[in-house]
Structure 1
Amino acid sequence: METVLRAASMYLLLMVVIKIAGRRTLLEMTSFDLILLLIISEATQQALLGDDFSVTGASLTIITLIVLDILFGNLKSRFPRVEQLIDGGSLILVEDGKLLKGRAKKAGVDEGDIMLSARSTQGLERLDQIKFAILEKNGKISIIPRE
């Protein structure tokens, strides 16, 4: 039972930490982010298994994490508010060529991030060429060019 509680608590803790860190953190990883992720995964592994390095303990931990993931997936599909709470929603960052600074700051995105996406996906060079820039749930910035 201790293994199940450890797995459940670490799952919930990581969900909260990743939610606080924001969507952009997950999509655009720097070398620092990768190192941090490796350290977090090692610390998580130690917290999940504790002193139990048995196959049974590891199997129980894995099963618990998968069951929790399935439960949260079902909750999100049944209750849109739960999905909004866990995954968030899309967020318009640029409207008619104007950066919405408050929203961008809240999302942890700057004009450079938006222009990088605009250049790489649409070949756009200036902010005024963008009709909408939308931060999607997965952290990707979608660009809709002006006609």
Structure 2
Amino acid sequence: MDALIAVFGSGHDLDSLQMAARAVAVFIGALVCIRISGRRSFGQRSPFDYVVAILLGATLSRAIVGASPPIPTVVASLVIVLLHRVLAWGCLHSPRLERLVGGTERELYRDGRFDEKQMSAALITRTDLFETARQQLGANDLSGIRAATLERNGEISLIRDKDAR
């Protein structure tokens, strides 16, 4: 026990080497948590996934700087990851839970017409749609675009007309 305290320190009074040792241990622990959580939490990047990433970072950082005891901090991080995993599993089996947790896509534009109601609900402007057209297609307008959809991850997808080239 004395050896662990010498390496990792105790409480708030940590030297540089003890904080570095904690950083290595927390890094390995975070990697294990991320592997348990699965690719979803750090690949698709929905708001649901960002919550896990933010909470995990905030919680684990407390163990590195000695603001919280390391074992309870790691346990809390593991609970966050397991909760994420359980909710993701639940979303696979319940469309209602998936809509609640992940949201739904919104069609913002179709066949030359903007859906002002959907745009207002999503806080998306026409300028945002034109910006997406410039970024994705190198176009200054939406001619040749059949539809624009705000996806659950916050990105706007543009679908071209079949006739447009």
TM-score over 0.5 (shorter chain): yes
After superposition, the C-alpha distances for 1:76-134 in whole angstroms (9 at most, x for unaligned) are 00111100111112211001121111100001111111111111111221134421001
1:78 corresponds, among 60, 85, 93, to: 93
TM-superposed deviation, 1:140: 0.5
Q: Which runs of 4+ in 1 moved over 6 A?
A: none
Identity among equivalent positions (%) equals 23
TM-score normalised by the chain length of structure 1:
0.63
Q: Could you say which residue in structure 1 is the equivalent of 2:140? A: 125
C-alpha distance in 2 between matches for 1:67 and 1:112:
40
TM-score normalised by the chain length of structure 2:
0.57
C-alpha distance in 1 between matches for 2:145 and 2:116:
15
Q: Could you say which residue in structure 2 is the equivalent of 1:65? A: 80
**Larger displacement relative to structure 2 (124-133 or 99-108):** 124-133
Q: Give the partner amino acid of 1:60.
A: V
Does the alignment pair 1:107 with 2:159?
no
C-alpha distance in 2 between matches for 1:103 and 1:111:
12
**For structure 1, which runs of at least 5 residues remain unmatched after alignment?**
1-22, 28-39
Q: Give the partner amino acid of 2:139.
A: L
Q: Give the partner amino acid of 1:142.
A: S
Q: Which has the higher contact order (CA 8 A, sep 6+)?
A: 1
**Larger displacement relative to structure 2 (119-128 or 64-73):** 119-128
Q: How many residues align?
A: 107
Does the alignment pair 1:139 with 2:154?
yes
C-alpha distance in 2 between matches for 1:101 and 1:129:
20
Max Rg structure: 2
- Contact 1:98 1:127 (8 Å CA) reproduced: no
TM-superposed deviation, 1:137: 1.0
Alpha-carbon RMSD: 2.8
TM-superposed deviation, 1:52: 6.7
Give the structure with the higher percent helix.
Answer: 1
**For structure 2, which runs of at least 5 residues remain unmatched after alignment?**
1-45
